[in-house]
């Protein structure tokens, strides 16, 4: 398919990151296949995660087609961009159609990006995840690549004011070894394995992150188990239920 919109959007994002001097670390990019279909399963801590998840695939010269809620496609500004970049609209009341579209894209050799937590994790840990990423990879016969982001929550996350002009924020993008789900495998077992892999990547990204909160007020962007003031997983689950 022709990509007239995606490359300029990537160029604009990279220019913004250079201006803001965001130190972006990508590790494990060799795990993204340079050709053929693949599913990227990434954690979700920021409204900007699709940008950085997509950047993680760029060393392999791949463009990632993200599954995103259909309301974004209905936005006057974002909608034309999403369609122009050939992302996949998800109608949660009729999810089978978007699932089938994603599988078709994978079988056509595309990389499809999925946030299997479905919504932003306010605890900054990996929530329980859905099995769709595993099932799509198995049905299409393509690898499933776990990914973890860290630092993106400092720019714009749920319940906090966005700060898109903040300078010098380090961003970590860690990519793990691919899984190879098969149709005969137990999707629930593999989904638990995927969550374990994503959590391990996130734990390492947090442990190796080059900055710590400069004040008590800044501790909001650290998870509770690391001494931060973010909600615990149980508290975050209650916030999601509300």
Segment 28-34 mean pLDDT = 98
**Residue of higher predicted confidence among 189 and 164:** 189
Residue 94 has a pLDDT of 74
CB 156 within 8 A of CB 13: no
Residue 101 has a pLDDT of 97
* Beta pairing partners, 111: 38, 64
For the CA atoms of the chain, what is the radius of gyration?
17
Residue 158 has a pLDDT of 97
Residue 41 has a pLDDT of 98
Q: What is the share, in percent, of the chain residues with pLDDT greater than 90?
A: 95
Segment 82-107 mean pLDDT = 93
User: How crowded is residue 141: how many other Cβ atoms within 10 Å of its Cβ?
Assistant: 15
Segment 14-18 mean pLDDT = 93
* Helix, strand, coil percent values for the chain (each to nearest 5): 45, 15, 40
DSSP labels, 141-153: T--EEEEEEESGG
Residue 105 has a pLDDT of 98
The CATH number for 6-216, chosen from 3.40.1130.10, 3.40.50.2000, 3.30.1300.10, 3.40.718.10, is 3.40.1130.10
| pLDDT, tens digit, 9 for 90 and up, residues 132-188 | 999 999 999 999 999 999 999 999 999 999 998 989 999 999 999 999 999 999 999
CA distance 31 to 37: 13
Angle at 189 (CA atoms; ends 31, 118), nearest 5 degrees: 70
Residue 2 has a pLDDT of 82
Residue 93 has a pLDDT of 75
Q: How confident is the model at residue 118 (pLDDT cuts 50, 70, 90)?
A: very high
């Amino acid at each position: 398919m022709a990509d007239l919109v995606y490359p300029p959007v990537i160029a604009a994002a990279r220019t913004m990151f250079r201006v803001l001097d965001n130190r972006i670390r990508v590790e494990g990019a060799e795990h993204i296949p340079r050709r053929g279909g693949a599913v990227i399963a990434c954690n979700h801590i920021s409204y900007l995660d699709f940008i950085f998840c997509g950047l993680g695939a760029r060393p392999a010269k791949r463009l990632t087609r993200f599954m995103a809620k259909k309301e974004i496609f209905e936005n006057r500004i974002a909608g034309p961009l999403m369609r122009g970049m050939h992302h996949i609209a998800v109608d949660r009341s009729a999810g089978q159609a978007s699932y089938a579209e994603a599988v078709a894209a994978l079988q056509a050799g595309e990389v499809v990006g999925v946030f299997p937590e479905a919504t932003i994790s306010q605890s900054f840990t990996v929530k329980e995840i859905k099995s769709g990423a595993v099932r799509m990879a198995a049905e299409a016969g393509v690898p499933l690549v776990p990914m973890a982001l860290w630092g993106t929550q400092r720019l714009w996350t749920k319940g906090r004011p966005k700060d898109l002009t903040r300078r010098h924020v380090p961003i970590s993008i860690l990519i793990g070894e691919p899984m190879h789900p098969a149709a005969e495998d137990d999707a629930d077992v593999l989904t638990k394995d995927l969550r374990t892999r994503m959590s391990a990547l996130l734990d390492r990204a947090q442990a190796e992150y080059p900055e710590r909160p400069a004040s008590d007020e800044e501790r909001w962007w650290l998870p509770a188990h690391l001494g931060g003031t973010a909600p615990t997983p149980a508290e975050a689950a209650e916030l999601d239920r509300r």
